[in-house]
Amino acid sequence: MYPTTLDTAEKTAMNPFMPKVSVVIPIYNGEADLPELLECLFAQTYPSEHVEYLLVDNNSSDRTFAQLQTAAAHTHINLIPLQEANIQSSYAARNTGIRHATGEIIAFTDADCRPQPHWLESLIQPFIESDVAIVAGEIIALSGHTILEKFADHHQTLSQKHTLAHKFYPYGQTANLAIRRTALEKVGLFRPYLSTGGDADICWRIQKENIGRIEFVPDAIVKHRHRATLRELASQWRRYGRSNRYLHELHGIDLMREVSLRECLYVIGRWLFRDLPKYVIKAFFGQASLIDILDTPIGIYTARSRYIGQKDAKLPEQATMIDWL
């Protein structure tokens, strides 16, 4: 069952701005994510006649591509399965999608994201202004049950508000982003050998060239699951640290300060002997949650992980290369 929507003629009459949109989604071993993702694409309220969905398998070892082919053969939407088997990188996969795209607006999300029904319809609207080159939508959390998921939700870790407030230039994460095709024609595509930080890099290149401005649409929502284990959390924040290093090398942004092991031990010790007893008493009276109690140790864990990722990262020589249409 699909949500009841106006037909294309009615929507066009109400809102004549309906450009052709290409949605590019890289996928790696996404067999488990595909059914829910496809349901989200089927449910989009943007008229199907004006959108194509390019799902790019990035050399998966499971049945992702076979599932994509089957879905494309039995769907009412324009679903185009593609493969990027030469470079193992989500940015290379996105570039493959862009090269096959025919839309004037290129929208991006990820296989483990869940675009809400009005996502695309809302995300496209700011492009009615000719000086808008980039639009970012909001990323909110799927319901989580672990302490780590609840911690990330409390801090809105995935929210675009953090990246849009970057002091160098604002940028949007590719989990929920749209870019005007003409901007990509002028500055190039993603750096295909970059493993992280490519969303910031492409948004900054567009803004540096004064091609257009970036807009934020909080109602264009995709949902994403937070990391549920310490291993996943550390991996996420080390990746953020690598991104810091790569963007420092590419754009000269400041590196984060050192978070030493000595500082971590000091913070944890202060928490144990000063803050923890206070929070336990507050929790007893219903004035503090478990998230409040554990905020400091989880926070220092993520900060240390990010610093280690930054310290150990080295920008690969090939990662400076930019693909072009």
Mean pLDDT of 290-295: 94
Percent of the chain with pLDDT over 90: 92
**Chain-wide mean pLDDT for the chain?**
94
Domain match, 126 and 54 both: yes
Residue 121 has pLDDT above 70, yes or no: yes
* 220 within some domain: yes
Mean pLDDT of 11-20: 74
Predicted pLDDT of residue 14: 64
The neighbouring-strand residues paired with 52 are 22
Mean pLDDT of 102-108: 98
Higher-confidence residue of 181 and 13: namely 181
Q: How many domains does the chain have?
A: 2
Domain match, 106 and 197 both: yes
Predicted pLDDT of residue 143: 85
Residue 317 has pLDDT above 60, yes or no: yes
Residue 240 has pLDDT above 60, yes or no: yes
175, 200, 228: which is the final residue of a domain?
Answer: 228
Residue 6 has pLDDT above 80, yes or no: no
Q: Which residues contact 245 (CB under 8 A, 6 or more apart)?
A: 255, 309, 310, 313, 314, 315
Residue 271 has pLDDT above 70, yes or no: yes
* 2 within some domain: no
Q: pLDDT tens digit string along 192-210?
A: 999 999 999 999 999 999 9
Predicted pLDDT of residue 1: 33
Predicted pLDDT of residue 111: 95
Percent of the chain with pLDDT over 70: 95
Nearest 5°: CA angle at 21, between 17 and 27?
Answer: 155
Strands across the sheet with 177-180, in order?
Answer: 79-83, 51-57, 21-27, 105-108, 177-180, 132-141, 213-224, 113-115
63 — pLDDT class (breaks 50, 70, 90): very high
Q: Which of 242, 246, 255, 253 is nearest to 208 (CA)?
A: 253
Mean pLDDT of 255-266: 97
Q: pLDDT tens digit string along 150-186?
A: 999 999 999 999 999 999 999 999 999 999 999 999 9
Predicted pLDDT of residue 10: 52
Instruction: Please give the model's pTM, rounded to 2 decimal places.
Output: 0.91
Residue 5 has pLDDT above 50, yes or no: no
Domain match, 99 and 173 both: yes
How many Cα atoms sit within 13 Å of 197 on the Cβ side? 27
Higher-confidence residue of 175 and 14: namely 175
* 23 within some domain: yes
Separation CA 97–CA 220 (nearest Å): 22
198, 228, 258: which is the final residue of a domain?
Answer: 228
Domain span at residue 170 reads 8-228
Separation CA 194–CA 13 (nearest Å): 43
Domain match, 146 and 78 both: yes
Contact 6, 36 (CB under 8 A): no
Mean pLDDT of 18-24: 97
Higher-confidence residue of 297 and 145: namely 297
Domain match, 220 and 303 both: no
* Beta pairing class for 21-27 and 105-108: parallel
Predicted pLDDT of residue 103: 98
**CATH code for the domain of 27:** 3.90.550.10
Domain match, 27 and 135 both: yes
170, 193, 228: which is the final residue of a domain?
Answer: 228
Domain match, 61 and 122 both: yes
Domain match, 99 and 57 both: yes
Domain match, 279 and 142 both: no
